[in-house]
Structure 1
Amino acid sequence: MSTVRMTLSALAAALLSGCTATQVTPLQSASDHMCIEENPKVQVSDFVPVLQEGFARHGIETQLYAKIPREQCAYVVTYTARRSWDMAPYLSTAEIVILGPRRQTLAKANYHLRGKGGLSLMKWQGTKSKIDPVIDELLSGAQLSVAAPASSQADASDESRRSLDDELRELQKQNLGYEDYQRAYRKLLLEHQGSY
């Protein structure tokens, strides 16, 4: 009889707690400036602000674009987020992907409520409380290279900007491995930082 009670108690606890599944491939290295590609299909209104705030907490400045200006954005963040409904809508799944200069996947994070959260009251927690830990796991160990500040870029002369853009295009044409590309990219940014 006590075995049956223990089993029922364990089952009830599992139903009430729900199960959150996260799978994260952490970012190793990147720039401290990234572009977020807007996903108009996402109806979780506070997802992008939570995403931007989370990246800023790890020293990464982000800008949101409906259409990514590829020549200006070496690192791009894409995302999806879906809601489920149980008396009220709540975030049930999300994915964040960071793409590198050659559009290769550098890091990825998935958040998923198993069974849409079951009977757990935790499923109605806000986006921030659900996604902040995922962002922290995604970015906490990343080595960041410093890009020129946006304000400095805005004041840059057209000639300096054109020169950097040309050099970046040339760099992208080279058949470099990821690490070699990163080193060359950082070197270019440092060389041009003084001219901004």
Structure 2
Amino acid sequence: MRVASLFTLITAVAISGCSIKQNVSPATLSAELAPEICMIPALNLRAGFTSAYQASLMEKGFRTRLMAPGSSPDRCALATTFIGRWGWDLALYMKHADIRVYEQGRQVGQAEYDARWGGGRLDKFISAEEKIAELTGQLFPNGAVGLGRVPAPVPADGAAPLSREAYRQQQLQRLMDEGLSYEEYQHRYRQLMND
């Protein structure tokens, strides 16, 4: 009886020391970025990780461009690096994933899943594709929505930015003041109204 209690206690302590962690810091992106993201996989990464992550990014509205492993994130306005490691414990499972997002070479978000200390936990046997989709969703909660917007012009005097309509009115007044021919005025007017 005493040996069984001791074994149960040791087993409980060993299992409670095992942990699976997931931490996500959502990416904060500037609105003027184009919704294109460069994907930089780790060297020797399983192809399934890359395709699952690419599909998740495309579902979030991003255009993707696959770069060579080890490329520098500062080569693109928006880039992501990703690492995935697998382990064997009666079956193959994803034991670690680290996805980072960079804007102009500066890290602006990270998602990490870590089951390396999962030990005897059975919940480490997850679907890697579903976990990658989950991490992508948490990393980009708004997806590519709102990206690609050009900021409103700021007047030279430092006043508040002009609304789009006020900016057009200002440009229209400049056109009238330039003394253009009728044809040139019509051409530039159409350009202004189509912007």
TM-score range, shorter chain: 0.5 to 0.7
Shift of 1:88: 2.9
Q: Deviations over 1:83-115 (max 9, x none)?
A: 1111332110111111112x0001111110152
Q: Deviations over 1:105-147 (max 9, x none)?
A: 01111110152x3223332222112222211111114564445
Give the one of 56, 59, 71 matched to 1:57.
Answer: 59
Give the one of 30, 39, 46 matched to 2:42.
Answer: 39
Shift of 1:19: 3.4
Shift of 1:81: 1.1
Give the one of 47, 50, 71 matched to 1:48.
Answer: 50
Q: Secondary structure at the match of 1:46?
A: helix
Inter-CA distance 22–32: structure 2 relative to 1 (3 Å threshold): same
- Number of residue-to-residue matches in the alignment: 144
Inter-CA distance 70–92: structure 2 relative to 1 (3 Å threshold): closer
What TM-score, normalized by structure 1, do the two folds share?
A: 0.58
Q: What amino acid maps onto 1:24 in structure 2?
A: V
- Trace 1:1-196 onto structure 2 (pairs within 5 A): 15=15, 19-30=19-30, 31-42=34-45, 44-66=46-68, 73-101=76-104, 103-115=105-117, 117-141=118-142, 144-147=145-148
Between the aligned partners of 2:72 and 2:25, the Cα distance in structure 1 is 26
Contact 2:20 2:124 in 1 (8 A): no
Long gaps (5+) in structure 1: 149-193
| Larger helix fraction of residues | 1
Q: Secondary structure at the match of 1:79?
A: strand
Between the aligned partners of 1:121 and 1:71, the Cα distance in structure 2 is 39
Contact 1:27 1:142 in 2 (8 A): no
Q: Secondary structure at the match of 1:28?
A: coil
Inter-CA distance 40–139: structure 2 relative to 1 (3 Å threshold): same
Inter-CA distance 52–110: structure 2 relative to 1 (3 Å threshold): same
Q: Secondary structure at the match of 1:87?
A: coil
Between the aligned partners of 1:88 and 1:24, the Cα distance in structure 2 is 27
Shift of 1:45: 3.0
Inter-CA distance 90–28: structure 2 relative to 1 (3 Å threshold): same
Contact 1:29 1:144 in 2 (8 A): no
What TM-score, normalized by structure 2, do the two folds share?
A: 0.59
RMSD (Å) for aligned C-alpha atoms: 3.8
Q: Percent identity?
A: 22
Inter-CA distance 147–72: structure 2 relative to 1 (3 Å threshold): farther
Between the aligned partners of 2:41 and 2:82, the Cα distance in structure 1 is 8
Q: What amino acid maps onto 2:127 in structure 1?
A: G
